Amino acid sequence: MTLPTQERLVTLVPAAFLMLQSVAAIFFVGDVLADMQAEPFGAHSLVEVVVTLALICGIALSAWHLRQTLERMRAQDRALATARGELARTIERQFDSWGLTPAERDVGFLALKGLDVSEIAALRGAAQGTVRAQLTRIYAKAGVSGRAQFGAWFVEDLLDEGLRAAE
């Protein structure tokens, strides 16, 4: 299941239950009104009034909670988009400072995304040996010994901030 589909389900399923509860509440309000006309202060009528009011309060609380959840999800999406953009800018700046060629930049981005040599070669229409040579040059320019250190170079500052925030 794709992420947008999951996000839609997170919204649609609770909304569908809210609609179902609302229909039930309308039915119970009508039933309570009819019972109140027949027997205004009977035990049965009073119990139905309390249950109907509880249902309506539950609907209102669920709607408020769904709204809060959707607002929180939107805020997280905005924060994630900002973080992605900042990471992309950081990578671009660092690639500039290392003096990577356009081909090395492409290979570097694909390596950071987690693709292996054969996948990068297939995407770029290049030989695996060419990709290995480009990765070797990238690692040398970055002053790292391999893929793990190359990826860690960009994550290190984020982890340091997280550790400082936890202290």
All structural domains of the chain with their residue ranges: 1-82, 99-167
The pTM score is 0.53
Identify the pLDDT of residue 109. Answer: 93
Identify the pLDDT of residue 19. Answer: 92
Is residue 119 classed exposed, middle or buried when 0-12, 13-18 and 19+ CB atoms within 10 A define those classes? middle
User: What is the architecture of the domain spanning 99-167?
Assistant: Orthogonal Bundle (1.10)
Whole-number Å distance between alpha carbons of 151 and 134: 16
Phi, psi (degrees; rounded to nearest 5) at 98: -80, -10
Identify the pLDDT of residue 163. Answer: 47
Record the tokens describing residue 122, joined without a space: 């297939």
Q: How many of the other CB atoms lie within 10 Å of CB of 52?
A: 20
The beta strand positions in the chain, using DSSP E, are: none
Record the tokens describing residue 91, joined without a space: 């990578």
Return per-residue pLDDT of the chain as tens, 167 residues: 555 677 777 778 888 989 999 999 999 899 888 888 888 888 888 898 899 999 999 999 999 998 898 888 888 887 777 777 788 888 888 899 999 999 999 999 999 999 999 999 999 999 999 999 999 999 999 999 999 999 888 877 666 554 455 55
DSSP one-letter string for 106-144: HHHHHHHTT--HHHHHHHHT--HHHHHHHHHHHHHHHT-
